[in-house]
Amino acid sequence: MNEPAQILTAKSLAKAFAQGSEAITVLQDINLQVDAGERVAIVGRSGSGKSTLLHLLAGLDEADAGGVAVAGETMTPASNEARTALRRQYMGFVYQQHHLLPEFTALENVALPLRLNGASQQDAQSRSADLLERVGLGYRLSHIPSELSGGERQRVAVARALIHGPKLVLADEPTGNLDATSAAELMSLMVELSESRTVAFLVVTHDATMLHHFDRVLTLTGGGLEESKPSEA
Ligand SMILES: Nc1ncnc2c1ncn2[C@@H]1O[C@H](COP(=O)(O)OP(=O)(O)O)[C@@H](O)[C@H]1O
Ligand SMILES: [Mg+2]
């Protein structure tokens, strides 16, 4: 019951990339807190640094300054091993391009994070089958990604992101490659899962029609985050 109130905290994050002899500042002084179970959208024009920010929050890349904590534990600065361990325990990811393994079935793709976390094959497969059932894909367990529609692939990707019981899912334009109907279905699924499992979602999106699903909308502009109500974004 003692859920940490904040699942994610970022303080004074800064990031620049070298371009020739110059450093291009992408993020400066980013401060962000996400509560347990909260749904937060990040919007911003292309190139504003949204993907860079998600990578820093996931500990996949290191900030030049500042820190990130996940469930009260330090994600950065920390060793690669410590970051990987925190990611596997607390986080799930959904990308714009599903990033499913092409040779693996839907069931095997979803089971993989559990296997990496040490579950037996039998346990991993039965839990994965249950979750795929839950996202409406019980009849597609043995299909490989190329045999699934775009919307089905993203539902598998959402199941894979959630299978190990993370408290935070980071999603980078997860509906960006979907038609409007599939995008709306995927968003509804994410909302339902966030409510039934108290999973916080931090979602980068371009789609203004999705914003009413979020508790908060943050706009990334000029390297910083500005907050607005969903209705004003
Ligand atoms: N690894 C990198 N090396 C150099 N520049 C990068 C790198 N990653 C991103 N950038 C630059 O940082 C800026 C922000 O990129 P990105 O985070 O992908 O933006 P967004 O996701 O909002 O479209 C862009 O100008 C991009 O060219
Ligand atoms: Mg991006």
* pLDDT per position as a tens digit, 171-190: 999 998 899 999 999 999 99
Residue 142 in tokens: 């043995």
User: Of the ligands numbered here, which is closest to the C-alpha atom of 23?
Assistant: 1
- pLDDT for residue 165: 92
Which atom of ligand 1 is found nearest the CA of 55? 17
User: Quick check: is 132 in a domain?
Assistant: no
Q: Is 205 in the pocket of ligand 1 (CB under 6 A)?
A: no
55 assigned to some structural domain = yes
Instruction: Verify whether ligand 1 is closer than 6 Å to residue 166 (CB atom).
Output: no
- Domain membership flag for residue 138: no
Domain of residue 170 covers 6-101+147-228
66-92: average pLDDT: 93
Number of domains in the chain: 1
Nearest residue by C-alpha to atom 10 in ligand 1: 17
Q: Is residue 116 part of a domain?
A: no
pLDDT tens by residue, 106-126? 999 999 999 988 999 999 999
Decide if pLDDT at 233 tops 90.
no
Residue-level pLDDT at 122: 96
Alpha-carbon dihedral angle through residues 205, 206, 212, 214, given to the nearest 10 degrees:
20
CATH of the domain at 85: 3.40.50.300
Alpha carbon 56 to its chain centroid, in Å, reads: 12
| 32 membership: H or E segment, kind and range | strand 22-35
The reply to whether 114 falls in a domain is: no
Is residue 211 domain-resident? Answer: yes
Residue 124 lies in a domain: no
Query: Is residue 231 over pLDDT 80?
Result: no
- Under 8 Å between Cβ of 17 and 3: no
Does the CB atom of residue 47 touch ligand 1 within 6 A?
A: yes
Q: Is residue 233 part of a domain?
A: no
